[in-house]
Structure 1
Amino acid sequence: MRSIVIVGSGIAGLSAALTAAQKGARVILVDRAPDGEHGGNTRYTEAYLRMKSLDEVADDFVDHFMANAGGYTDPGIEQEMVRDHDGWSALARSQSAVDPELLGSFVENAGLTLRWLEQAGLTFDFLPTAFITTTTTRLLPVGGGLAMVETLTEACKAAGVEFRFETTARALITHDGRVTGIRTTKGDLEADAVILACGGFEGNPEMLARYIGAAAINLRPVARGGHYNKGEGIRMALDIGAAPNGDFGSYHAEPIDPRSGCAEPAIFTFPYGILVNKDGDRFTDEAPGTVDAHYESVTRRIFQQRDGIAWLITDAGLDDVPNWRKGSRTDQPALVADTLPGLAGMIGLPAGRFAETVERFNAACRAGDFRPLETDGLSTEDLWPPKSNWARPLTVAPFRAWPIISANVFTFGGLKIDRHARVLDLDGNPIPGLYTAGETVGIYYRTYTGSTSVLRGAVFGRLAALHCAGAVA
């Protein structure tokens, strides 16, 4: 019987644990969180899945990944990466980029993995989302990420998986170049294979400052589960020569209300107002397109402002947007005033500068047909930065304001893997006995391919377990 140690109990770790146990392996799962608070980010997410059916990924899945597949890759290496994988050089195999071999594995196994999760007791449906306007299709598990964690935890226990909560992995144990176990805060665990599924480093301020920069002090995890993700899995693998992958200087950004302590208090209504920084100035196009496709780029601009904060300003026209409150997930009320100067005073903006900003914006708005549920092309004229859609003057009370900061949903930098989720070394070769899945994998660059992270965890957690349990050659 093969013995497998899995670190982390989010969707990646639980998918790996259940798969390995079903294939007859002896499985120990360790997690620093206590029982009942485990599950990492998965526990708190609605778990959007970029699928057009239970069996097929969304039509834009591959195109979006490849449009954000890395930096400016050497053309010679790019040419290698479109040929058969067996002929790649060490440079191509270890290149920091999303390679087509890995992406192909992701696409091929997405539907198969969801069918397997269905067999484990989960159900899926095209449920309403927080996005008022959208460009792609999203499937959701009924009950969200919490249902995933609870259902798979019980299935794992029934299959004989041993859980060791409040146990933190510290280092990998190796012998003759092979990973043979893991060192934890409660002793060493020997294993035939180790699967690292313990998240990124969004809960580690030192790593955030090192990779993202000093402004990372203005970030916070989008939900409580992210605080448990302190980057040890990435660090311990890099320490034994693993290849890095993904955009270490970036992260998945989401606009949230900093006053709220609830999980993911997102503010997705900003396309229907203006965003101003602490100086009272606009600084970005609030509505370049549908909110689901552009909220991350807008949120990154918020992060770049002084103290990493901005204010969404709206007037009574917000009420013309059907069901706008579904895009405002905070549990804190808007600040409301009868006049714009009064609102400026409430939120601490320089009144004169703010008034000039609103006057310029209002003067740049033009007449047209306001269509809130589709990109309407109702844009400003002769204004910088422009507003490309839903631009209407702010003139009618009540005036409302919400503060917005960038949340760090998860970090992009992680480990490079192959199609079986084996961790590769700096020469592009698999490190014997070491696998990784979920956020510990580096796969995103520049812009997040939305609604793929939970799917990434489930797919590669399962593929890692299938391979190290001996079910796949």
Structure 2
Amino acid sequence: MNTPNSYDLVVVGSGAAGLAAAVSYAEATAHRAQPPRIALLERSTEDQRGGATRWTGAFLRITEERKLDPDWADHVQRVSGGLSDYEYCKTLERETPATLKFIEDRGVALEFNEFPIAHTFADGSPTMTPPGNPVGGGASIVKALSAKLDEHPNVDVHFQTEAIRLTTGEDGAVDGIVVRGPDGYATRLGAGAVVLACGGFEGNAEMLTRYLGANACDLPLIAPGIANNRGDGIRMALELGADTAGQFDMIHAEPVDRRTRKADAVLYGYTGGIFVNGKAERFFDEGRDTWDNTFELIGYEIWRHQNQEAYWIADAHSLDIPGIRNAWLSDVPPEQADTLDELARKLGLQPEALEKTVADFNSAVGPGEFDHTRFDGKATVGLTPPKSNWATPLDTPPFIGIPLTAAICFTYGGIRTDTNARVVTPSGVPIPGLYAAGELTGLFYHEYPPATSVLRSLTFGRLAGQHAAAQLA
């Protein structure tokens, strides 16, 4: 092992959480006569820095007043059955304005564009309120915070460097980390504190199989950056006795267009159509809730029970929704045909089976007016599975379809932290010198109320950096 280097802070991972931690720490300590040394470790090459953050559109569940949806913390409690950490969720709500100011002050511009179908980002009720997102998506966050970090000469960024294990002193406090650089040799970096911010285990087939079971290897990655999320932070923290949180056998999966290799090619705008599997049979109530509360469940269902094969089928009614193409994130347009027979052949489905499924659906559609801006109550009658809202007959050409598969976005299970992002033991005692933020920290059970992943990564990364800075003598 090579001669150790000494740092005051080592951050593992250069996504939203890691960058927020490093920047907040560097800025909080910059006034010192001798600013502390900081190391940022990144498994990827420099041009691929940023992890999952680099590839996401980074929807933010916020108001234009820069506040978190006030229903979100309670929403998490409802869907988790009370298993999620409510205090942690309320901390995110309280800290959201400061987090948004943090990124805006450092060059990230926010925008609020109209979205074509209703969602529940505003106090739990379906609305057409424009969701927030950074101009340029998550890549703009990576670019802006990386540029700020580069302004500090006391920061060393180590690319193509893997974290192997944490080290501790005789008192049990974290005092360093062993890493492996691009030359293959192991080196110990001394550290006054370590922030783990290197994602979950989406890119580790062994861990996915261990926790999710059979067919975990069939989950494609929603973006290239998460291939580097190998569960290193979780493994290293568990070796020191850290507690866990979140549901380890559950994932955030999303329905994506399987015709493209584009990252984040998600289908959000499916309100007016139906989903069928490889046998051209419906398998999900497409109108049970708004898209933001069902797209993850549909993704998981496609992977777990539909052999990773599904199709979204719609007609001119969907094409008539203003701006609907903005909710189809693929770079390939939907397949289109004048008849269901022709559409089925383009998609590789059995034509008679698709025609029967659509005919059964059409005959079950109840009365009412279709309204994509709210729960319209326009439902099917006597059909299994039902369509509880937005059930409009598929009878007007052109008919359109998108072949789908489920892609993994992040894992639920991870390390437990307190509201200062300190890693804690099962008894709730913080492990001295160890912090964690982002998707390697567990929180969710059963469902993920969306548009908060980047926001919580930024928030608790920022809090980790601030808390670690305050501990300096």
Q: Provide the TM-score with structure 2 as the length reference.
A: 0.90
User: What is the DSSP-based 3-state SS (H/G/I as helix, E as strand, rest coil) of the residue aligned with 1:151?
Assistant: helix
1:206 alignment counterpart: 206
Offset at 1:142? 2.5
2:179 is the alignment partner of 1:184: yes
**1:340–1:118: structure 2 CA closer, same or farther, 3 Å change rule?**
closer
1:153 alignment counterpart: 146
User: What is the DSSP-based 3-state SS (H/G/I as helix, E as strand, rest coil) of the residue aligned with 1:438?
Assistant: coil
Give per-residue Cα distances to partners, 1:113-142, cap 9 Å, x unaligned: 22222222223232345x622221432222
1:108 aligned residue (71, 94, 102): 94
Offset at 1:334? 2.3
1:120 alignment counterpart: 106
Offset at 1:180? 1.1
Residues 211-230 of structure 1: matches in 2 within 5 Å? Answer: 211-230=211-230
User: What is the DSSP-based 3-state SS (H/G/I as helix, E as strand, rest coil) of the residue aligned with 1:135?
Assistant: strand
2:304 alignment counterpart: 304
Q: Which runs of 4+ in 1 moved over 4 A?
A: none
Contact 1:196 1:436 in 2 (8 A): yes
Contact 2:280 2:350 in 1 (8 A): yes
Contact 2:439 2:453 in 1 (8 A): yes
Aligned equivalents of 2:265 and 2:333: distance in 1?
12
Aligned equivalents of 1:317 and 1:440: distance in 2?
41
Offset at 1:103? 2.6
Aligned equivalents of 1:178 and 1:472: distance in 2?
14
1:436 alignment counterpart: 436
Q: Which amino acid aligns with 1:426?
A: P
Give per-residue Cα distances to partners, 1:353-398, cap 9 Å, x unaligned: 3332222111101343122333222111111111112212222332
Q: Which amino acid aligns with 1:169?
A: A
2:52 is the alignment partner of 1:57: no
2:55 alignment counterpart: 44
Percent identity between the aligned chains? 41
Mean CA deviation greater in 334-343 or 261-270? 334-343
2:158 alignment counterpart: 164
Aligned equivalents of 1:442 and 1:269: distance in 2?
29
Q: Which amino acid aligns with 1:384?
A: T
1:136 aligned residue (82, 103, 121): 121
How many equivalent residue pairs?
447
Offset at 1:155? 0.3
Q: Which amino acid aligns with 1:297?
A: L
Residues 245-324 of structure 1: matches in 2 within 5 Å? Answer: 245-324=245-324
Offset at 1:208? 1.1
Aligned equivalents of 1:333 and 1:53: distance in 2?
31
1:175 alignment counterpart: 169
Offset at 1:427? 2.4
Offset at 1:236? 1.2
Aligned equivalents of 1:234 and 1:182: distance in 2?
14
User: What is the DSSP-based 3-state SS (H/G/I as helix, E as strand, rest coil) of the residue aligned with 2:394?
Assistant: coil
**1:162–1:269: structure 2 CA closer, same or farther, 3 Å change rule?**
same
User: What is the DSSP-based 3-state SS (H/G/I as helix, E as strand, rest coil) of the residue aligned with 1:313?
Assistant: strand
Contact 1:70 1:246 in 2 (8 A): no
2:347 alignment counterpart: 347
Q: Which amino acid aligns with 2:354?
A: F
Contact 1:315 1:399 in 2 (8 A): yes
Aligned equivalents of 1:136 and 1:409: distance in 2?
20
Offset at 1:146? 1.0
User: What is the DSSP-based 3-state SS (H/G/I as helix, E as strand, rest coil) of the residue aligned with 2:46?
Assistant: coil
1:31 alignment counterpart: 42
User: What is the DSSP-based 3-state SS (H/G/I as helix, E as strand, rest coil) of the residue aligned with 2:121?
Assistant: coil
Mean CA deviation greater in 296-305 or 429-438? 296-305
User: What is the DSSP-based 3-state SS (H/G/I as helix, E as strand, rest coil) of the residue aligned with 1:369?
Assistant: coil
Offset at 1:69? 3.8
Contact 1:423 1:430 in 2 (8 A): yes
Q: Which amino acid aligns with 1:38?
A: R
Contact 2:192 2:433 in 1 (8 A): yes
Aligned equivalents of 1:100 and 1:155: distance in 2?
33
Offset at 1:406? 1.7
* Structure 2 runs not aligned, ≥5 long: 1-5, 30-35, 123-130, 182-186
Aligned equivalents of 1:279 and 1:185: distance in 2?
48
Aligned equivalents of 1:413 and 1:70: distance in 2?
16
Contact 1:362 1:394 in 2 (8 A): yes
2:376 alignment counterpart: 376
Contact 1:23 1:471 in 2 (8 A): no
Aligned equivalents of 2:93 and 2:364: distance in 1?
45
Offset at 1:55? 4.3
**1:146–1:383: structure 2 CA closer, same or farther, 3 Å change rule?**
same
Contact 1:7 1:196 in 2 (8 A): yes
Aligned equivalents of 1:55 and 1:133: distance in 2?
20
Offset at 1:31? 0.3
Aligned equivalents of 1:102 and 1:329: distance in 2?
32
Aligned equivalents of 2:472 and 2:459: distance in 1?
14
1:92 alignment counterpart: none
2:32 alignment counterpart: none
2:462 is the alignment partner of 1:467: no
Contact 2:14 2:41 in 1 (8 A): yes
Give per-residue Cα distances to partners, 1:415-461, cap 9 Å, x unaligned: 00011111011222111111000111111111112111111111111
1:411 alignment counterpart: 411
User: What is the DSSP-based 3-state SS (H/G/I as helix, E as strand, rest coil) of the residue aligned with 1:20?
Assistant: helix
**1:460–1:307: structure 2 CA closer, same or farther, 3 Å change rule?**
same
Contact 2:292 2:449 in 1 (8 A): no
2:21 aligned residue (4, 16, 20): 16
Aligned equivalents of 1:295 and 1:213: distance in 2?
22
2:451 is the alignment partner of 1:456: no
Contact 1:54 1:115 in 2 (8 A): no
Aligned equivalents of 1:35 and 1:324: distance in 2?
36
